[in-house]
Amino acid sequence: MTAKDKYDIRTDLYFDPVNHFWLDIKGSVATFGMSPLTQETSGSFVAIQFAESGTGFKKNEGIGTVEAEKHVGPIKAPLSGKILTVNSELINKPRMINEDPYGQGWLMEIELSDLSEIDQLISGEKEVNDWFESEFEKFNEKGWIAQP
């Protein structure tokens, strides 16, 4: 099985190769959420916490935490900037991240402070597909993905 068979790979979006977020960037504003591969291998989410709107941050700084049934981890900023809005619906329904990672499971909207950082993201049909496949293999080797 390949990543393409298993996941909806949105090649129209950017992907953060370190923290596995998708980003929809319009000008200097980005909405981001979890890639389908990460949401699946984290398990069912049970809780989420966000830093407050207006908080400024550097790339890779913690701006929240997300907790699944057997896993907890930080939400690390995919790019530097400031939080504009958080998806507060998730506080009561964290499983939306699992159910609709590209849609209702979005995490935050941020204002970017350094547009040059966008170059470090993955974009373009071939690059995104290749990256997904290689990450899928890595996660599979670690035993995080269910086998049919």
Partner 1 sequence: MIPLETVQQETEKKVSPDFVRISMASAIALRLRSGRFSRDFEFGGINLLLNYENGCLSDCGYCGLARTRPGDYEDKSFIRVEWPMVETDQLIDRMAEHEDKLTRLCISMVTHGRAYKDTYDITKRLRAKVKTPLSLLIAPPTLNEEKLQSFKDLGVDMIGVGLDAVSEKVFKQHRTDVPNGSLRWDNYWNIINASRRIFGPWKVNIHTVVGLGETDLDLVDMFYHLKDNEILAYLFNFNPEEDSRMGDWVSPHITRWRRIQLVKHLIENYNLQKKDIEFNSDGGIERISAEGNDIQIAIQSLDQGLPFMTNGCPNEAGTEVGCTRPYGSYRPSESFRDFPFQPETDDLKLIRKELALDELIK
Question: Which positions touch partner 1 (CB under 8 A)?
Answer: 40-44, 46-47, 65, 67-73, 142-147
To the nearest whole angstrom, how small is the minimum distance from the Cβ of residue 115 to partner 1? Answer: 34
Q: How far apart are CA 125 and CA 4, in angstroms?
A: 12
The residue among 92 and 147 lying less far from partner 1, judged by its C-beta, is 147
To the nearest whole angstrom, how small is the minimum distance from the Cβ of residue 147 to partner 1? Answer: 4
The first and second tokens of residue 95, run together, are: 């499983």
- The full DSSP string for 60-125 is T-EEEEEEESS-EEEEE-SSSEEEEEE-THHHH-TTHHHH-TTTTT--EEEEES-GGGGGGSB-SH
Q: How many CA atoms lie within 13 A of 38 on its CB side?
A: 21
The residue among 41 and 87 lying less far from partner 1, judged by its C-beta, is 41
- 49 Cβ contact list (under 8 Å, min separation 6): 64, 65, 66
To the nearest whole angstrom, how small is the minimum distance from the Cβ of residue 118 to partner 1? Answer: 29
To the nearest whole angstrom, how small is the minimum distance from the Cβ of residue 9 to partner 1? Answer: 17
The residue among 49 and 123 lying less far from partner 1, judged by its C-beta, is 49
The residue among 30 and 96 lying less far from partner 1, judged by its C-beta, is 96
